[in-house]
Chain A
Amino acid sequence: MAEPTVTFSRGLPVEIGQIDRELKKLWEQAEGSSTRASLMNLAVYCDGETAMIQNTELISSFTADHACRSIVIAVEPASSANRVQAWISAHCHMSRAGEKQVCCEQISFLLEGSSKGVFPNILFSHLDSDLPLYLWWQSEFREPLEAQLRTWVDRLIFDSASWSGWREPFAFLNDSLKGSRLTLCDLNWTRTLYLRQALAQLFDDPVNLPYLDCVQKWNATYAPGFQLTALLFVGWLAAQLGWELVEAGKDLFVYKSASGQQVQGKLDQKEGAPISECVLACNDAVFRFARDPGSDFFHADFNLPDGCERHYLLPAGREEKIALLDQELMQGGKHRVYLKALLAAEPLFER
C-alpha cells in the first residue's frame, strides 16, 4: 500500500451550498500535480463527531487502494443545536508508477439535532453521478431506509457484531431488501471469510470430503462480543451442509444432517480471536482449526481414523475495520451464501 503523502484530517469548513464550487477550487489549485480519481461513492453514516474524525482517518488509508468519493455523514440527534456543518478534504497518495499524486475527495457532514432528517437529501446532492453507491452504516438500524435511497444503494455495508439486538436490525434489513438491488455486506460475515475459506479448501480434498457428510459433533469458540459472528458461522455450516435445526439451547445445538444423522454442536466463549477455534468430529476423525491470540494464521490439524495426521497453516486475515472493508469490497457478487447463512442462523438468534 502506498504511503499517504497529503491528508486533511478533518477538512476545510464549507458552506453546504458551496461544496461543489469549493471542491472545484481544491482541484484547480492542485492541477497538474495531482489527478482526481473515483470508482465509487462510499457514504459512511455514523454517530457523532468523534466517529466522523475516526472515519476520515480510516478513509485516508482506504483510498490508497480504492479510489472513491467519500461522504461521511455523522449524526448527533441529542445535540441542542439544530444545524448542518460541512467540510471537504482530499486524500492523496502517490500513484503506483510513482510519478503523480492520485487524490480522492471527501465531504463530511455533521447533522445535529433534528437535522438528522435531511440525510437522504445530503447524500443525493453530493454523489458522484453514475458510480456505484456503497453505504456503510455504522449506526444502529432503527427505521427502514428511505424508499428512494433504498433503490440507489448498491451495497449496504454494516457490522452485525456491533448490534445490540437482532430483531430491529433484521426487520430493517428485510425491509431494505424489498424492491431494491442492494447487496448486504456484513463485515461480521467478512470476519469469518478466512475460516470459511480454510474449511472449504481443506474439505475440497477428496480424502477429507466424505467426512463432511458424517459430522456428528462440532464446537466453536468465540470471543466476547462476537457471538453473532459465531452464529453466522454456524448458520453457514448448517446451510452449506443441509443441516436442519432440531433444538437450540443456550450454547448447545442439535441438528439433523441431510442423511438423517444427529449432529450436536456447542459454542464456547473465550478471549481471543473472534472465532479462535472450530472442531468438527466424525467417526474418529477430528478436524481442528485454531487461531492463537494475535496470530495472522489458522493452524489446521486433521486426525484421521487411519492414524494419519496432517497440519496446515492457513491465512486468517486481519481484524481491523479497514482490512475487513477492503476484503469485503474485493468480494463482489450478491452474497447469496450470506443470505442462506443468515436464514439458517436466524432461529439461533431467537433462542
Chain B
Amino acid sequence: MADEKAAKKIEPPNECLSKVRIGGPLAVTDDVLEQAQADLPGLSALFFESIEEDIEALDAKLKEMTDDPDSQKEVLDEIARVAHDVTGNGGTLGYDLLTVVGNQLRHFLENATLPLNELGQEVVELHIYALHAIFTQKLSGDGGDIGAELMSGLTRIIEKWEASA
C-alpha cells in the first residue's frame, strides 16, 4: 500500500444514504431480522436438493480418480470446487458440519502436493464419505456423537498423511 502515500483521496457521494430512511413500517428491526432468519428453513427442499447434487458430483469425481498427474489434477480441482460450494451452503441452514468437512477437504486439496499418493486419495475419499453420512443422516449442528466420531476419523487420517509426507 506504499503507493497510497501519494494517492488521491476521493469522497464519492453516498447514494445509499439518500435513499434510506430511519424508522417507519418498512424499517429493518431486530424482530425483522429474527423473522428473516426463522424463515430460511423454508428453503430446505432446495437446500437438500443442492447438497444432494453436490455429493453426487463428488461421488462421480471420486470414481474418476487416477494416479495420472494431469487427469488427477483435473478431478481434484473439480472436487475442491464442489467442496467450496458445500462449505458455503451447509451452515446457512444449520448444517455446520457440512461446512466444516467441506472446508477441511478444500483446504487439504489446496495445500497438498500433487499427485496424491494412495493415502492422500484416501483422505479425499473419507471426507466425501463423511459428507455423505452427514447428509443422509441429516446431522445438523456439530452432529453430536456421530459428528465427533466422523471428525475424529478425519483428523486421524490427515495426521497419518502429514506424518508420511
Q: Do A and B come from one complex?
A: no
Q: Which B residues fall within an 8 A CB radius of A? A: none
Q: Which A residues fall within an 8 A CB radius of B? A: none
